[in-house]
Amino acid sequence: MVDVALSKDNIAVNLVFISGLTRSGKALLCPIVSSFSNVEKVNVNFFLEQIPFLNYLNSIPDETAIYLLRTGMNMMVYDNAIGRNANFRPDDYTSIWKYRNPMEYIQRLFQPDGDRVIRQLDSKKKIIPMMIHNGLWHAEIWFQAFPLLKLIHMQRDPAEIVYSWMGKEYDEKFFSNIRSSTPTYFYDGKLYPYFASGWEEQYRECHGIDRIIHMIYRIRKYHQENYEKLDSNYKQRVLFVRHKSLLTETEKNLSIITEFLGVNPTDDTADILAQENCPRDISVEERRTKIKAIKEKASIETFELLMDMVDQFESTDLAI
């Protein structure tokens, strides 16, 4: 069989990824970004996310991954433009009811489809925000597929993420659940999440909160290493936003984010900020309580690893 060179162009839109580790605060920023001028509602596509994950595991070669990402994104953007697959669930953060003008999506259901939609997308150059997981870790393949992509990485205190994972019980049972979108694979007869690749023995030996801390450590490490490998042109298309700062210094962060995206807040932005309770005070005592709860369940060595992560996070502006 003759080898073929896969090729697919992108629909002319401005993609913005809101990314970070699981439970890093992406859901806080998503509706805020959607409230800005010329920005669509937030989208999530767990199937598309599988492609960079499997590419990392060498299950999909780069050329195929790029082709699938572009094809899948084109389909998502087109469907979004004609109201197809619009989410009407009132409490989902991708719901049209969470958008500043839900009627815009309802009206699209009754408008003609076809090439006119592509021409309209090309002329309006609207911003399509999409929430993804571990985007900075897999930024190279994302940028290869979408060179003009902008990525906002949410930074959050590692202790806060560990505590949240502990509450959500992100353990072996969670990753084996059929509803989980985290890729899994078998190694030596046991099931592992994709981010355990390369350290399976250590993953298997630790349990409970210790395993969660080691998972967070590895995922942050992969993010940092792959960000540092990025071409300088791509690094300029990445914005780091601290979760705590967004909560407590909201206006300052809004100014930075809108400048990065080349948009403006709208009258709806203030309403969204009120719904998200921004700005707000952070309870120091509540954080102490969380740290204490983690310490009670973690081994001494693993708790020290977490505290090292916290120290690095607090002392480095571009920490993950």
Alpha helices in the chain (DSSP H): 26-34, 46-56, 62-81, 102-108, 115-124, 139-145, 158-168, 172-176, 200-205, 208-229, 232-235, 243-248, 250-261, 267-275, 284-297, 300-315
Where are the domains positioned within the chain? 14-315
| C-alpha–C-alpha distance, residues 106 and 191, integer Å | 43
From the list 103, 127, 117, the residue with the least C-alpha distance to 40 is: 127
Inter-CA distances, 161 with 13, 22, 60, 168, Å: 33, 8, 30, 10
Query: How many other CB atoms sit within 10 Å of the CB of residue 290?
Result: 19
Average pLDDT in the 159-165 region? Answer: 98
pTM (two decimals): 0.96
For the chain, give the longest Cα–Cα distance: 66
The angle at the Cα of 124, spanning 119 to 275, to the nearest 5 degrees, equals: 135
Average pLDDT in the 204-233 region? Answer: 97
- What's residue 171's pLDDT? 74
- Find residue 154's DSSP bridge partners: 241
Predicted confidence (pLDDT) per residue in 102-120, tens digit: 999 999 999 999 999 999 9
Average pLDDT in the 164-175 region? Answer: 87
Predicted confidence (pLDDT) per residue in 285-296, tens digit: 999 999 999 999
**pLDDT mean across residues, the chain:** 95
Confidence of residue 311 (pLDDT cuts 50, 70, 90): very high
- pLDDT surpassing 90 at residue 222: yes
Average pLDDT in the 310-315 region? Answer: 97
Predicted confidence (pLDDT) per residue in 227-280, tens digit: 999 999 999 999 999 999 999 999 999 999 999 999 999 999 999 999 999 999
**What CATH number is given for 14-315 in this structure?**
3.40.50
